[in-house]
Amino acid sequence: MEFLVERVLDAARAHAFPRAFAMKLTRMQLVAFIRIVHLSSALLEPAMPSSPNDGSSHKKKPYLRIAQFEYTGAVLFQRRIAGRESSPFGIFPLILDWLSHRYKFDYTISMGENVSNIVEGGSLDQPRAIFYILSGARDVITAVVEPLGPPSRLVDFIHPFSYSKLSFMIPMPGETQTNVDAVIKPFHFWVWITLALAAGAVLVVLRCLNLLRITRRSSPAEEKKTFCSNIPMYLLATLLNQGGYLPCTLTSMRMIIGAWCLLTLVLVNSYNSTLISYVTATRRAKPLVNSVEELVQDSNVHPVVDRGQGPESLFLTAHSGLFKALGDKLRAYPHSRCNSTKQCIDAVKSYPPQHVYLNAQQAIQSVLQVEYRNSRKCKLVMGVDLQRDFALVWALAKGSPYLEKFKRGTLVLHELGLILSWERRFKPDTRPCLSQNGDYKIVKNTNIRPVRLTLSNLTGAFAVLAIGCLTSLLAFLTEKIV
């Protein structure tokens, strides 16, 4: 400390500070200032883990051997490559650094083996990550471990530092090339039914009024036939916005025709304004599944999970409910457990689509971010099960003296809001493909000019024309034959 004080005083005098400031700055004030700065930096700046072989004074501190496993979600853990060395960053290292400063211990971090290199003896009852503690190789596992089932009997868990929704990922539904039903999409099915009933009712009423008028005036039969045949054509012409003429002077008939014209005015304008949206809209096929329940019920769709992580243990050890059904599907399908996240993503993107990737929400958000960054396209969709949560915890050896300290420290971090702040900092940015409400959307390029209407957009209109021509041909042949 004395050496540091002398260096600071020399620096203050050498950098042209006012002489009065250098003289008035007492040694006691400077010592207090240095202690405050040192304490602040110890609480705010992450410190590099020290090795137990260092020759510094920190060698007297107890140290913990940490096994750290890379988790897909950026909110939990990521890896950064700097030259030939890989250094962890994310929420896990920040929590470890804070705990080490608060409870005065050193630690060494070693990356866990890849999932494909399963430690001998690892099984569902003794997962690969927990086996590091059972073998005595490590004291703490900073991995996403589910605190239920057989692992809870082998190791101790701290309080959950985060919760995550159970989510699933499916391929983006493909675009349909045909647009035949665009001409009927502007109106709901029951609107068309009501319109047909209304047209039929108006036609019947007009015919009855016309027959009553003809009977009272004893009009010729030819005039009656001609006049009655004009009513259906008039109704159809007004419905198609073509107009028409009816040579009638009866007030009751004019009132009904006026009401029909008002109805067609509203319907035709509503139809025309809505039709262009359905003609130019991008139509997509039905999603592979809409919920986890549909995944369980559909025998042609298979779930896939990361081997050795929390979802696998949670599903395979469940004894009832939806998770047990998912575990049964995992056992029945031989390729349900992936050795890496990339293998699961490749299965989801394979054709024909029949795989659904299950994981925590943060993990799937990270996958969406990486996929969009690589392809600049939204090829995957995330769905969230709002009724089920994952509790994300760490594991310590049985009887560890740091169990209560880690539990207390986790609660303090929650009270201070630091974990929430770190989650926001490392939350994957999925806005290009996922809205704030969790709905997927298509990325629009503002530099592209408006797309012209293509034949696929107007397939429905030409289909109606073809049907009309075919009907006319059949009517013509019928007239010739008869």
Q: What is the pLDDT of residue 5?
A: 46
- Tens-place pLDDT, residues 70-79: 665 434 444 4
Q: What is the pLDDT of residue 144?
A: 60
pLDDT confidence tier of residue 114, bands split at 50, 70 and 90: very low
Q: What is the pLDDT of residue 457?
A: 67
Q: What is the pLDDT of residue 365?
A: 85
- Percentage with pLDDT > 90 across the chain: 4
Alpha-carbon torsion, ordered 393, 397, 401, 407, to 10 deg: 10
Better pLDDT: 313 or 439? 313
Q: What is the pLDDT of residue 90?
A: 73
Show Cβ contacts of residue 116 under 8 Å, excluding neighbours closer than 6 positions: 339, 340
Predicted structure pTM score = 0.59
Q: Pick the range with the lowest mean pLDDT from 144-153, 259-268, 357-366.
A: 144-153
CB 115 within 8 A of CB 308: yes
CA distance 66 to 404: 17
Q: Pick the range with the lowest mean pLDDT from 170-179, 214-223, 311-320, 374-383.
A: 214-223
Give the length of the chain. 482
Q: What is the pLDDT of residue 356?
A: 92
Candidates 98, 92, 88; CA nearest to 76 is: 92
Written as one letter, the residue type at 128 is R
Give the residue-averaged pLDDT of 373-398.
80
Q: Pick the range with the lowest mean pLDDT from 160-174, 184-198, 279-293, 443-457.
A: 443-457
Residue with tokens 């509503």: 270
Q: What is the pLDDT of residue 95?
A: 85
Give the residue-averaged pLDDT of 253-258.
81
As a whole number, the mean pLDDT across the chain is 72
pLDDT confidence tier of residue 436, bands split at 50, 70 and 90: very low
CA distance 140 to 69: 11
- pLDDT of residue 62 exceeding 90: no
CA distance 290 to 259: 45
- pLDDT of residue 28 exceeding 60: no
Q: What is the pLDDT of residue 56?
A: 44
Give whole-number Cα distances, 292 to 140, 314, 441, in Å. 33, 15, 21
- Tens-place pLDDT, residues 228-248: 557 888 888 888 877 777 777
Structure tokens at 405: 């300290």
Q: What is the pLDDT of residue 230?
A: 76
In the three-class reduction of DSSP (H, G, I as helix; E, B as strand; rest coil), residue 107 is classed as: strand
Written as one letter, the residue type at 262 is L
Q: What is the pLDDT of residue 304?
A: 93
- Tens-place pLDDT, residues 294-342: 888 888 999 999 887 778 877 887 788 888 898 899 999 988 888 888 8
- pLDDT of residue 48 exceeding 50: no
- pLDDT of residue 357 exceeding 90: yes
Q: What is the pLDDT of residue 395?
A: 81
Candidates 119, 94, 92, 80; CA nearest to 43 is: 94
- Percentage with pLDDT > 70 across the chain: 65
Q: What is the pLDDT of residue 226?
A: 41
CA distance 268 to 261: 10
Better pLDDT: 358 or 393? 358
CB 168 within 8 A of CB 360: no
Q: What is the pLDDT of residue 303?
A: 92
Q: Pick the range with the lowest mean pLDDT from 20-34, 105-119, 174-188, 194-208.
A: 20-34
CB 141 within 8 A of CB 130: yes
Which of 36-50, 53-67, 196-210 is most confident?
196-210
Q: Would you tell me how many other CB atoms lie within 10 Å of the CB of residue 167? A: 24
Better pLDDT: 260 or 457? 260
Residue with tokens 């990270």: 366
- CA torsion sign for 15, 21, 27, 28 is negative
